[in-house]
Structure 1
Amino acid sequence: MAVAAGVWLASQFPMPLWLPALALGVSVLALLGAWRLRSAAEAIWLAAFGALVALGALRYTLSAPLPSPQSIARYNGQRVTLDGVIVAEPDVRPTHTNLRLRPWRVLGASGFDEALDDLVLIRIAAGTDATRWRYGDALRATGLLDAPPRMSAFDYREYLARQGVFSWMPQPRALARIGEGYGNPIVARLLDAKDAVRQAVRRILPRPEAALLNGVLIGDDKDIPDAVQEAFRRTGTSHIVAISGFNVSIVIALVIPLLGRMLNPRRAALFAIPAIAVYTVFVGASASVVRAATMAGIGLFGALFWRKGFTLNTLCAAACLMLVANPHTLFDVGFQLSFMATLGLVLYADRLSGPVRTWAQLRLRNERAQKAIMLILDGALVTLAAQLTTLPLILATYSQLSIISLPANILILPLQPPIMILGGLAAVIALFAPQTIGALAALPAHAFLTATIRIIAWLSEFEAAAISVYGFGPPAVLAYYIVLLALTAFALQPALARRAIADLLRARLKTTAILGIAGVALALGGVYWFQRPDGKLHAIFLGGSAIIQSPSGHQVVFAGGGGDVASTLDRIAPLWDREIELLIMPQRSEYTRRDALPLLQRYRVQTLVVPGGSEAEGDSLTEWQRVLVSSVGRVLTASIGTSFTLDADVSVVVEIRAPERGGSQVIGAQLIHHSVVIDLVGRYEAVGHPAQPDLIFLGPAKADVTKLNRARPRWVVWADTSGAPLAGLDPRIRAVSLRDVGQIAYTSDGVRLIVRR
């Protein structure tokens, strides 16, 4: 936990390298001094904690997600031809394929360059390239190299940066294989074997059963239909297709008994460690798999020295090793959920099942009845134990709470061991036998897979199977874990201590209640003080969108697409204000609608302004129409000169940027605060700009330098796009690219517009 705290601190508060290094040195010296002087245990533990925090901060600082001086990212925004090798298993999805490339050389406008660091992500649309790409292939790609995008609900750029990817080529104009076999030969053979298993399963089972079995066996769930994926999410059972500790335990159970017949158990454990490592690479080495494999490796290593493991210590040691090896693992949702689920099982599973088992033994005299009832209840208790520690992460990440998770897990968990064992056996047979024999061998697994899918599909059809929970952010997650930690610490105390604490609380109930109420009131007062309107206008620009807060606290969103607008608004909006007074949609496109949808799901919208025309078709249309009814007060179709008054001195004027054509219109807006004017252009080039505005926000629109020079704004802000060349811009105009800064905020007092960050 200390290493994780250090990693988090360094990620939130960037620091020079010498600072965590100095802190680590001082902490280590303090630890050695406390040890030599036989100081109190508290002093030793405090020094050790400080050393581990400093180690985590130092490790993160050394591997901060920043491009190197020789990074290929220097060529972002240019059309280039680059040669390189595929360094990871191709990520094949129904709509596209992602290839991670380590560049060898690049041909840009300035010639050849071979001094290149960092990785490039190449995305190939499905159906545009029939080549079957493999790990270790060398390829030549020609196209526009750019920075990865920031999406509405997910910062894809930061996600890739933590993996050393700072550039992507989403639509290469030309792509060709120029060599093979440049990868690690062992990894290449393992990935070939993985693909052979994948194809064998597809031959002997129909979809979606084949897709589910591939997810269970090799961690490849990309082929599972969207409807089945959604059913798993709604029922809280997505974990069954995540490779984790159960799969690793199966590997151990197969290796140790087999080798134990020829060797003693200790030597068998020695061979099990590399077997687990091979399996980890085979299934993709995701964070959850590495966590389980590391725990198993630590346990087996201890068995070599006749040491019995303590699961909680093993879990913490595995997490520490993973964070030291790669501190960015802390921000992997898979690692977070895997670690917290295992922690829940360690802390609560036995404590929950113990009383239930005692009850069953006292009430049920028949031994078979006892086993039957415990078989049913064990799945529920294990699920409950894991959900106690993962619930806040699930709410914060997926904004969904499954109401029927417990019964769903009770019904399907007993089916999973047969699926893995029988399905794995059938896959092995299918590798070496004719398809007919493989299909016959797969019949038992097919029955269990079909039962799992049908149970989940049936349960997910209940309207109340899952409810949406929005706005469950870091403060709520922290508060949940503080309460859970306090209750756990109380439950772990001896019975006499718990009784004494309870007696003390009862004796001082009045004082405790007064202090609790005062603390809550003080906290709420502090929140109000820091989030109250300050009499100034605030504007934040991110992606193609803008968030405006008026001097009196009214909220306006210009939803041009791009950037995590909903999460940003969650951070800056007052806790008591869950309303957007004005939401402007520049286009009726799937792109802008999908990005604005989280706003309607989390906030009440007084007025929604949309351009003329009809709604574009797309995956989000049905959900959009549903939330319009429940979350929007009124919907207005924009017309020239439509004006809205937010405060006495703040108004918004809607402008038509492009006339309706092809069933679609494009709109923009002007924000006026006394003498300060902000021109919101959006995704379409403006016909013209007001004279001498304080700021022109171009969004992803292409900049017309002639019009900008004629308007002479103080600031030009344009979104993360390569389509906004500003050569020839008047040097008196200050230009900001959101590609470089992510987002930028301004404050207006009605006279001046000042950059806040």
Structure 2
Amino acid sequence: MAGAFAIGIVGEFVFATRAVIPWVGGAGAGIALFVFVQWWDRTQIVTLAPLGRIVAIVLILGCAGGARHARHQTPSPHALKPAAEASTEATTLQGEVADAPERTDDATRFVLKADTLYGAQDTAAVDGRAHVTLRASPWAEDVGPFPDVRQGDIVRLRGILRLPPELRNPGGFDYRAYLARRGICCTMYVGEPERVNVQRNRRGTLESLLVGAREYIRLQIDRYVPSAEAQGVLRALLLGDRSRVTDAQRERFAKTGLMHLLAVSGLHVFLVGMVLYALLRPFLIRFGMQWRTVEIARAVLTILVLGGYMFLTGGRPSVVRAVIMATLFIGGIVFQRSAHPLNTLGVAALILLAVRPPALFDVGFQLSMSAVAGIVTLNPRLLDAIPERYRASEAVDWLVSTGTVSAAAILGTAPVLLFHFGWVSAAGLLLNIVGIPCTGLALSAAILMAITGGMWSLAGASFGSAADVFVQGLLAASRYGVEWLSWAGIRMATPDAWGLGALVAALIALAQWPRPHLRWRWVVAAFLFATLSAWEGAIGRDSGPALNAVFFDVGQGGATLLTTPEEHHVLVDAGPRSPSGSAAEFVILPYLERWGIQELDAIIVTHPDEDHLGGVPALLREISVDRVLDNGRSASSELYEEFGRLIEQSETSRKTVQRGDTLLTGSSVRIQILAPPRGESAQTKTKNNASVVLRASYGEVDLLLPGDIEAGAEKNLVRTYGKQLGSEIVKVPHHGSSTSSTPGFVQAVSDSSEGVHAVISVGQGDRYGMPHETVVSRWERHGMTVHSTAEDGAVWMRTDGQEVWQVHWK
């Protein structure tokens, strides 16, 4: 049933009809088919009525899913999104704080359910949700604290209203799609406290209790838990608030397969609710209650506690799923009815999708469902494969059971992880044996701390210290896991549909192992998919060795990664840096991590401007860099001083390059330095004209990267090299500025052949008048195919040494 409903959601997503009536018509046809099949079954001795009923039910539920998704996606006549699209300056917005704000040392974030938009001339009613960030501008001085904002408050804000950024780079994060799946259409940034006006609150009794409970738990955590890092983890475990968990900690948990321990999920629901359910029985029996009364009482109490915990943690899909399954399980005990775990999982999925259909495309929803499905279907097969003699004692049996459950969860989530992240860690198979007990004990101690801390300080301090110790054990498991086991796993940087199909079929075959007739069908299917995957990788122009050039979208700046057929990696420039972070952190490092690149053979800094040098310090801190090459020019900036200091502290070598130098990167690709010329000339006195210009050659294809050179340096290159500048791929100088791309230079570069690609690395919004229309038309008149990172996001070009083509990575 849940599968059919999900198919309908996918159908509406693909066809994007935004119309409910066709789906309702399809459901009506399904009902008519069901009625007909029922009548047919009564009039015939031998019929296909069972099959007909299944088809009718699938059709009804599929159309119901499509109709629900179409209704959910239908925009409101007062939608907030058009206002965000049209907004060019500060906007005043009023609404209700819809969730528990997440507070860090420098920012407060929450979702605003907007109802009123204040314009310069009038006021309009709006309907939409915005993700709001209250944070002082990094350039502001002496900014006071922002007002304390709580869930249910009615606030009036004045700030920058924008659409969330889309996916702009391979390996990046599609923030717009992520928020859209949560019903959030736009973002708002407020940089000054006086622009936040808390008017009143609209909290009911339940919401007031939740707000008070969250504040109380935060107070107890801060009061009794000694270390700041343990406080952050316990906030995540008890409240679902991961704002105090550092990026480094999240990365370690993700790399070691322990991320599920930070996300409130079935494990936490089991510890909070099911342990309570088990303990309530002997407690209630002491009051002389009958069996039926005891079962009903403990069922009601446990479900109430689980419901409260669900609301306390923000109602995340994994928690809702676990609470629904626990409720169905407890209800089965009370009414003495048993249900297969997959059926309860299906009911939970059906309820979640009926409430919020886009959850189907949410990674968290997919991981939650696939993990439970893996445990239910695969864990029994893994346990059956282990001889009884290895499970003689309770301790050994617990270790074996923990290991098989972890393995089943890892296998169940592997297709989802490979598709979305390109990596599935096997380290969790061992680390969960330590991580799960530490998480359970830490959560249990924290719950006892919260219960006793307000009444008995000694007990609160004791339980808080114990929780801290267990959290430190969990953090140590992730830390040592990264050091020792980060290599253990499977990588699939680019999703392979046939390969994933083979993996899914193999897992189904394992789950169906006791049923030979089904087992071998899925084994054959897995073999077939694996064969198709192998053939797809062996034929076609993407199958052979190639030179890849990825022109990252780093905003107003430049960063290009060259990857040779021998897997050598050369980064030319690293984009800009701002107070909120650098392009290396948000763009380059995620790409390197997705593709498993742990070392750069070289970083070439064309010139020391901030929009080209800004990301280099972050790269020097995070990954191994063999050498750094630049033009030898210095700059009077803190960034340049930090750059030089980090090179001295690391084992990275540094060299100045000039015209005539050659960079060896394997046997197939040759990188020549064309500029700056040796010795200072009139053309290289300006910092842009002193840029390093390089040409990478692979087979019959040349790639030209000229930095930010302008007219003077271009004329020097044309005079020196003439038609030798001809290239099949060229990065347009100086972001398409009118001071570059002179007619003579464009003519010399485009003389090589037809089908030449020109890439402009430039920020969105045309803030600096780049790229200039005249420059773009000049390149196009010479037969160039012009690509712009402002319009297309990152541009990925690939060549086999003869042909050049664009890789469509989205």
Pick the TM interval, shorter chain.
Answer: 0.7 to 0.9
Which of 541, 565, 575 in structure 2 is aligned with 1:587? 575
Deviations 1:683-718 (A, max 9, x none): 7965355569998856316356698455573999xx
State the shift of 1:445 in Å. Answer: 3.6
Deviations 1:24-64 (A, max 9, x none): 33233223322343334233223322333332233222223
The alpha-carbon distance between structure 1 residues 282 and 705, as it changes in their structure 2 partners (threshold 3 A), is closer
Q: Tell me whether 1:308 sits opposite 2:363 in the alignment.
A: no
Aligned match of 2:606:
611
State the shift of 1:553 in Å. Answer: 7.5
State the shift of 1:280 in Å. Answer: 0.5
Give the whole-Å Cα distance in 2 for the aligned partners of 1:583 and 1:65: 44
State the shift of 1:455 in Å. Answer: 4.2
Deviations 1:89-130 (A, max 9, x none): 112235532222222332335x22322121222222379562
The alpha-carbon distance between structure 1 residues 273 and 680, as it changes in their structure 2 partners (threshold 3 A), is farther
Give the whole-Å Cα distance in 1 for the aligned partners of 2:504 and 2:89: 49
Q: Tell me whether 1:150 sits opposite 2:170 in the alignment.
A: no
Give the whole-Å Cα distance in 1 for the aligned partners of 2:710 and 2:490: 36
Task: Decide whether the 8 Å contact of 2:237 with 2:264 is kept in 1.
Answer: yes
Return 388-397 or 12-21, whichever deviates more: 12-21
Task: Decide whether the 8 Å contact of 1:557 with 1:584 is kept in 2.
Answer: no
Q: Which residue type is aligned with residue 151 of structure 2?
A: Y
What stretches of structure 2 of length at least 5 have no aligned partner?
A: 42-47, 628-651, 653-663, 677-690, 712-723, 748-756, 781-785
Q: Tell me whether 1:22 sits opposite 2:43 in the alignment.
A: no
Which of 382, 387, 390 in structure 1 is aligned with 2:410? 387
Aligned match of 1:232:
253
SS in 1 for 2:202: coil
Give the whole-Å Cα distance in 1 for the aligned partners of 2:489 and 2:224: 37
Deviations 1:486-539 (A, max 9, x none): 3323x1316xx589x69x99xxxxxx89x968x866666567777669xxxxxx
Aligned match of 1:90:
101
Task: Decide whether the 8 Å contact of 2:704 with 2:729 is kept in 1.
Answer: no
Aligned match of 1:540:
none
State the shift of 1:182 in Å. Answer: 2.3
Q: Which residue type is aligned with residue 177 of structure 1?
A: N
Give the whole-Å Cα distance in 2 for the aligned partners of 1:423 and 1:15: 49
Aligned match of 2:589:
597
Give the whole-Å Cα distance in 2 for the aligned partners of 1:715 and 1:69: 44
Q: Which residue type is aligned with residue 554 of structure 2?
A: G
The residue correspondences of 1:283-432 to structure 2 (distance < 5 A) are 283-354=313-384, 356=386, 358-360=388-390, 364=392, 370-432=393-455
Q: Tell me whether 1:654 sits opposite 2:695 in the alignment.
A: no
Which of 4, 16, 32 in structure 1 is aligned with 2:6? 4
Aligned match of 1:559:
552
State the shift of 1:651 in Å. Answer: 5.5
SS in 2 for 1:114: strand
Aligned match of 1:622:
621
Return 389-398 or 597-606, whichever deviates more: 597-606
Q: Tell me whether 1:193 sits opposite 2:213 in the alignment.
A: yes
Task: Decide whether the 8 Å contact of 1:124 with 1:170 is kept in 2.
Answer: yes
The alpha-carbon distance between structure 1 residues 620 and 522, as it changes in their structure 2 partners (threshold 3 A), is closer
Aligned match of 1:662:
none
Give the whole-Å Cα distance in 1 for the aligned partners of 2:75 and 2:554: 25
What stretches of structure 1 of length at least 5 have no aligned partner?
A: 365-369, 506-511, 534-551, 660-671, 717-734
Q: Which residue type is aligned with residue 6 of structure 1?
A: G
The alpha-carbon distance between structure 1 residues 679 and 464, as it changes in their structure 2 partners (threshold 3 A), is closer
SS in 2 for 1:713: helix
Cα RMSD for the two superposed structures: 4.9
Aligned match of 1:218:
239
Give the whole-Å Cα distance in 2 for the aligned partners of 1:198 and 1:474: 44
SS in 2 for 1:141: strand
SS in 1 for 2:133: strand
Q: Tell me whether 1:700 sits opposite 2:763 in the alignment.
A: yes
Aligned match of 1:280:
310
The residue correspondences of 1:522-561 to structure 2 (distance < 5 A) are 555-561=548-554
SS in 2 for 1:63: helix
State the shift of 1:469 in Å. Answer: 2.5
State the shift of 1:468 in Å. Answer: 7.5
Task: Decide whether the 8 Å contact of 2:92 with 2:156 is kept in 1.
Answer: yes
Give the whole-Å Cα distance in 2 for the aligned partners of 1:740 and 1:191: 44
Give the whole-Å Cα distance in 2 for the aligned partners of 1:698 and 1:323: 41
SS in 1 for 2:117: strand
Identity of aligned residues (%): 22
Give the whole-Å Cα distance in 2 for the aligned partners of 1:56 and 1:742: 33
Give the whole-Å Cα distance in 1 for the aligned partners of 2:116 and 2:364: 34
State the shift of 1:371 in Å. Answer: 1.4
Aligned match of 1:107:
118
Task: Decide whether the 8 Å contact of 1:581 with 1:606 is kept in 2.
Answer: yes
The residue correspondences of 1:659-698 to structure 2 (distance < 5 A) are 680=732, 687-688=739-740, 697=760
TM-score normalized with structure 1 length:
0.75
Return 648-657 or 37-46, whichever deviates more: 648-657
Aligned match of 2:57:
48
Task: Decide whether the 8 Å contact of 2:702 with 2:728 is kept in 1.
Answer: no
The alpha-carbon distance between structure 1 residues 711 and 588, as it changes in their structure 2 partners (threshold 3 A), is closer
Task: Decide whether the 8 Å contact of 1:609 with 1:635 is kept in 2.
Answer: no
Give the whole-Å Cα distance in 2 for the aligned partners of 1:141 and 1:224: 27
Give the whole-Å Cα distance in 2 for the aligned partners of 1:522 and 1:419: 47
Deviations 1:360-400 (A, max 9, x none): 47xx5xxxxx2122122221121112112012323444444
Aligned match of 2:70:
61
Q: Tell me whether 1:130 sits opposite 2:130 in the alignment.
A: no
The alpha-carbon distance between structure 1 residues 314 and 681, as it changes in their structure 2 partners (threshold 3 A), is farther
Q: Tell me whether 1:203 sits opposite 2:223 in the alignment.
A: yes
State the shift of 1:655 in Å. Answer: 4.3
Task: Decide whether the 8 Å contact of 2:154 with 2:198 is kept in 1.
Answer: yes
Task: Decide whether the 8 Å contact of 1:10 with 1:61 is kept in 2.
Answer: yes
The alpha-carbon distance between structure 1 residues 116 and 285, as it changes in their structure 2 partners (threshold 3 A), is same
State the shift of 1:329 in Å. Answer: 1.2
SS in 1 for 2:130: strand
Q: Which residue type is aligned with residue 9 of structure 1?
A: G
The alpha-carbon distance between structure 1 residues 122 and 427, as it changes in their structure 2 partners (threshold 3 A), is same
The residue correspondences of 1:439-450 to structure 2 (distance < 5 A) are 439-450=461-472
State the shift of 1:159 in Å. Answer: 0.9
Task: Decide whether the 8 Å contact of 1:102 with 1:120 is kept in 2.
Answer: yes
Task: Decide whether the 8 Å contact of 2:582 with 2:614 is kept in 1.
Answer: no
Aligned match of 1:34:
37
Deviations 1:433-474 (A, max 9, x none): 34x552134344444334433444344432656457351525
Task: Decide whether the 8 Å contact of 1:78 with 1:108 is kept in 2.
Answer: no
Give the whole-Å Cα distance in 2 for the aligned partners of 1:283 and 1:113: 35
Give the whole-Å Cα distance in 2 for the aligned partners of 1:587 and 1:745: 16
SS in 2 for 1:317: helix
Give the whole-Å Cα distance in 2 for the aligned partners of 1:20 and 1:653: 53
SS in 2 for 1:597: helix
The alpha-carbon distance between structure 1 residues 214 and 373, as it changes in their structure 2 partners (threshold 3 A), is same
The alpha-carbon distance between structure 1 residues 170 and 176, as it changes in their structure 2 partners (threshold 3 A), is closer
Give the whole-Å Cα distance in 1 for the aligned partners of 2:295 and 2:737: 72
Task: Decide whether the 8 Å contact of 2:65 with 2:354 is kept in 1.
Answer: yes
State the shift of 1:241 in Å. Answer: 2.7
